[in-house]
């Protein structure tokens, strides 16, 4: 059973028992707008501050040994926001990708995109493709940016591809199982998230990785994304480390090994 010994993560003492670390952390970065409004600033001010948290969280995750980090940066529903906010977010994303490429290479971080890349502005698509290509050989951590992402449409895309394979006689419907479906999602080849974090006080999933987070531990915090930094990530990871994941078994079954 996991014990609160993972509290060692707090402060600057990093975890020594890596079995207590989530392999894959997925984050809904919520609360930028409200954070800005509290400061009587436009929403974009909050998104700009949010980029600083993105940098800190990516750096900390890499440092403590998280192998996959998925950040929900823009949902399919976010296109409905005022055009000025959408444009501002795309500009921030583009400049983040340009400015971080060197650091990603130095830190051996592979960039990957989940979502409808073709819906992004051409300039962002180009920058993203360049980053994905340049970091393809990196292997210490995968950074998944979910952009124009929606879980239901991702699942529909997978079902479409699988149906086409069945109709073409390349796949037997009887051979269709959870692994096959997982391999047709945009997270193909990556383990499912162990820890799902949502900042900003809301307690919902918002169409994020619905298939993949089936067994994830859920962690909700009232802290708004621009205030979520190194200590807040360490605290979430420590909380995860203190939980018992049973995957349907009983606690005593797990203790017996
Ligand atoms: C949700 O907060 C946040 C977003 C829709 C965008 C997240 C974007 C960033 C953190 C910056 C750009 C990303 C990268 C990867 C460089 P909200 O605006 O819905 O906040 P609210 O609920 O308080 O209104």
pLDDT, tens digit, for every residue of 148-182? 999 999 999 999 999 999 999 999 999 999 999 99
Q: Identify the band that residue 1 occupies on the pLDDT scale cut at 50, 70 and 90.
A: very low
Q: Which residues pair with 24 in a beta bridge?
A: 68
Q: Per-residue pLDDT for 202 more than 90?
A: yes
35 C-alpha to ligand 1 centroid (Å): 10
* Enclosing H/E stretch for 64: helix 43-64
**Active site includes 32?**
no
Distance, CA 29 to ligand 1 centroid (Å)? 6
Smallest CA separation from ligand 1 atom 24, residue: 33
Nearest to 217 by CA among 240, 246, 251: 240
As given in the structure block, the two tokens for residue 194 are 């162990």
Count other C-beta atoms under 10 Å from residue 220's C-beta. 17
**pLDDT digits 0-9 by tens, 81-121:** 999 999 999 999 999 999 999 999 999 999 999 999 999 99
Give the model's pLDDT for residue 184: 98
- Taking a C-beta distance cutoff of 8 angstroms, is the pair 175, 3 a contact? no
Q: Average pLDDT of the chain?
A: 93
Position 2 scores a pLDDT of 42
Which atom of ligand 1 lies at the shortest distance from residue 34's CA?
23
Please state the rounded mean pLDDT for residues 54-74: 98
Q: Tell me, yes or no, if 78 is annotated catalytic.
A: yes
Whole-model pTM? 0.92
Q: pLDDT value at position 249?
A: 74
pLDDT of residue 256: 78
Q: What is the pLDDT of residue 14?
A: 57
What residues are in contact with ligand 1 under a 6 Å CB criterion? 29-34, 47, 50-51, 54, 71, 73, 78, 89, 92-93, 96, 145, 200, 225
Q: Looking at the predicted structure, is the pLDDT value of residue 241 above 60? A: yes
State residue 118's pLDDT score.
Answer: 97
Q: How many angstroms does the Cα of residue 80 sit away from the middle of ligand 1?
A: 14
Q: Does residue 72 sit in helix, strand or coil?
A: strand
Q: Whose CA is nearest to atom 3 of ligand 1?
A: 30
pLDDT in tens, 223-233: 999 999 999 99
Cα dihedral 2, 107, 149, 71 sign: positive
Return the residue whose CA atom lies nearest to atom 13 of ligand 1: 73
Position 7 pLDDT exceeds 80:
no
């Amino acid at each position: 059973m996991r014990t609160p010994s993972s509290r060692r993560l707090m402060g600057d003492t990093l975890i020594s028992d890596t079995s207590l670390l989530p392999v894959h952390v997925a984050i809904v970065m919520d609360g930028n707008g409200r954070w800005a409004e509290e400061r009587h600033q436009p929403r974009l001010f909050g998104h700009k501050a949010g980029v600083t948290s993105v940098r800190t969280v990516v750096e900390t995750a890499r440092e403590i040994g998280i192998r996959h980090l998925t950040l929900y940066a823009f949902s399919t529903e976010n296109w409905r926001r005022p055009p000025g906010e959408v444009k501002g977010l795309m500009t921030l994303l583009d400049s983040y990708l340009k400015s971080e490429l060197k650091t990603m290479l130095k830190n051996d971080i592979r960039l990957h995109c989940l979502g409808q890349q073709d819906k992004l502005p051409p300039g962002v698509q180009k920058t993203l493709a360049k980053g994905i290509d340049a970091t393809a050989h990196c292997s210490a951590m995968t950074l998944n940016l979910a952009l124009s992402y929606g879980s239901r449409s991702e699942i529909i895309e997978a079902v479409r591809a699988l149906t086409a394979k069945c109709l073409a006689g390349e796949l037997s419907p009887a051979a269709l199982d959870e692994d096959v479906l997982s391999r047709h999602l945009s997270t193909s080849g990556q383990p499912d998230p162990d820890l799902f974090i949502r900042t900003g006080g809301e307690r919902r999933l918002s169409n994020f990785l619905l298939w993949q987070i089936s067994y994830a531990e859920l962690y909700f915090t009232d802290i708004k994304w621009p205030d979520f930094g190194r200590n807040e990530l360490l605290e979430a990871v420590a909380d995860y480390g203190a939980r018992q994941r049973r995957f349907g078994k009983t606690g005593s079954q797990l203790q017996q090994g």
